[in-house]
Amino acid sequence: MRFTRIADGEVTGYTVGVERLDPDDDPELEPAGYHSPQLLYAVMTPGAVVTDYDVHRLARNLPGDAGWVVDALRDLDYDELDAPEPNP
Question: Between the CA of residue 9 and those of 30, 39, 73, 75, what are the distances in Å?
Answer: 38, 25, 14, 14
Q: Select from 29, 25, 20, 37 the least CA-distant residue to 81.
A: 20
Q: What is the pLDDT of residue 41?
A: 92
Per-residue model confidence as pLDDT tens for the chain (88 residues): 888 889 888 878 899 998 888 888 888 888 887 788 888 899 998 888 999 989 999 999 998 888 899 998 888 866 666 555 555 5
Q: What is the pLDDT of residue 35?
A: 81
Q: Can you tell me whether residue 13 is helix, strand or coil?
A: strand
Would you list the domain boundaries of the chain? 2-74
The answer to whether the pTM exceeds 0.85 is no
Q: Select from 5, 1, 25 the least CA-distant residue to 73.
A: 5
